[in-house]
Amino acid sequence: MISVSQEKWLEYQKNHPDIKRYALVDGLQYERLFDEEFTYHAGLNNPLFRQFPDSEIAFAGPWLFDITHDTVLMERFLTLEKTFPAVSWVYTPQSLDALTRHFEPYINIQLESGETALLRFYDPRILHQIPDIFNQEQLTAFTQSIDEWEYWLNGQFYSVKGAQR
């Protein structure tokens, strides 16, 4: 497991310079704690609610932040993580835009009934259940190109990759 601590991250990055660190954050929980909405900054973050009609509530949806070199946001996200189930950490060589495009199809899923549902995989409580929700093929596709995906839940860190937690 890759630690979210800055020291261990820098050490890890020396041996894996192609890996980037992202925070997947629930915008509504962030606003609830810090009383401010996320705003888009090219190269720093992307809302996952980018398509109409979801784009109208992008501030409240999931946001992906490139925190590879950012320690200011990191501190806020660590505080948020300990307060609400609202943050997970993704380590991958993918660019911010590529990772955003990878996650977008998983936001709205089609149920067997034909209805569309929001899959809140950005919520650690749901992310924890993903290995039980997806079959092995779906799980492999969902975590493709992700070296490590960590989250804090019930007082401890977990990691999801393929069929493993």
Domain limits, the chain? 7-159
CB 134 within 8 A of CB 142: yes
**Percent of the chain residues past pLDDT 90, beyond the cut:** 66
On whether the CB atoms of residues 122 and 25 are closer than 8 A, the answer is yes
Q: Which residues contact 125 (CB under 8 A, 6 or more apart)?
A: 85, 153
Q: Assign 163 a pLDDT band (cuts: 50, 70, 90).
A: very low
Q: What percent of the chain has pLDDT over 70?
A: 92
Tell me the C-alpha distance between 60 and 51, whole Å. Answer: 14
Please check whether residue 26 is in contact with residue 20, taking contact to mean a CB–CB distance below 8 angstroms: no
Q: Where are the alpha helices (DSSP H) in the chain?
A: 6-15, 27-34, 72-83, 96-107, 124-127, 130-133, 136-142
pTM attached to this predicted model: 0.90
Position 7 scores a pLDDT of 78
Question: Phi and psi for 37 in degrees, rounded to 5?
Answer: -90, 150
pLDDT band for position 164 (cuts 50, 70, 90): very low
For residue 43, the tally of other CB atoms under 10 A from its CB is 9
DSSP symbol at 51: S
5: tokens are: 């601590």
Residue indicated by tokens 């310079």: 17
Q: What pLDDT digit, counting tens, does each position of 87-137 carry?
A: 999 999 999 999 999 999 999 888 889 999 999 999 999 999 999 999 999
pLDDT of residue 1: 56
Does residue 53 have a cis bond before it (omega within 30 degrees)?
yes
